[in-house]
Chain A
Amino acid sequence: GESVGLHLPTLSVQEGDNSIINCAYSNSASDYFIWYKQESGKGPQFIIDIRSNMDKRQGQRVTVLLNKTVKHLSLQIAATQPGDSAVYFCALRGAGRRALTFGSGTRLQVQP
């Protein structure tokens, strides 16, 4: 079956520093890998995705890296801001356009 895990439950960074959130997965048949952000009292918000045939994708202040060899996904946030404080979930979509499976989440705390 699919399982998605995160290395650290809580990550604390200083404002302005770069943040790296990691995620391990087991289902190599996934076609998409996705990061969602969930702020307190809100639903998850899509951040960025990456197809399984890519190893890097950049967005605005965010970069997602995919290492299929070791089944590892990471989200890098540049110049972390207080507004980035949230729980970050990695998710994957099984091949064949199946439902999303969410990982257990990492809480990012940005210290002023």
Chain B
Amino acid sequence: DTEVTQTPKHLVMGMTNKKSLKCEQHMGHRAMYWYKQKAKKPPELMFVYSYEKLSINESVPSRFSPECPNSSLLNLHLHALQPEDSALYLCASSQEGLSVEQYFGPGTRLTVT
């Protein structure tokens, strides 16, 4: 299984809502990542987990809260988002932390209204 799955595929939420994005991989990878991608732009790193511990937070606002319950799962909890947070949120995994070969999921398309 060389697939990273993400749910939901699409999410529309209001600025006062709380929602979560989920990511799962069963490749035995020990590093997992959250990226944000705006339309026609490259992915921008948000968080890196290595061996279930947060190793990088790229100065992401606290309204985004990552969680890594185990080595196969990665969540991104969302609260009080702004319309400018609307984007494609990509999850990725790799065998080791900050490996050049990362496996990306299809992303969750988030719209904040």
Contacts and interface: CB of A to CB of B under 8 A. Distances in A.
A102 B102 contact: no
Contact of B106 (A42, A89, A93): A42
Which interface residue of A42, A43, A100 has the most chain B CB atoms within 10 A?
A43
Given A100-B45, A104-B42, A43 B101 contact: no
B42 A89 contact: yes
Contacts of A61: none
A45 interface: yes
Interface residues of B, number: 22
Contacts, number: 51
Interface residues of A, number: 20
Interface of B: 4, 40-45, 48, 56, 58, 90, 92, 97-98, 100-107
14 contacts: A34-B100, A43-B104, A43-B106, A44-B43, A44-B104, A49-B101, A91-B42, A97-B97, A99-B58, A100-B45, A100-B102, A102-B44, A104-B42, A105-B40
5 closest Cβ pairs, A-B complex = A43-B104, A102-B42, A32-B100, A46-B101, A49-B100
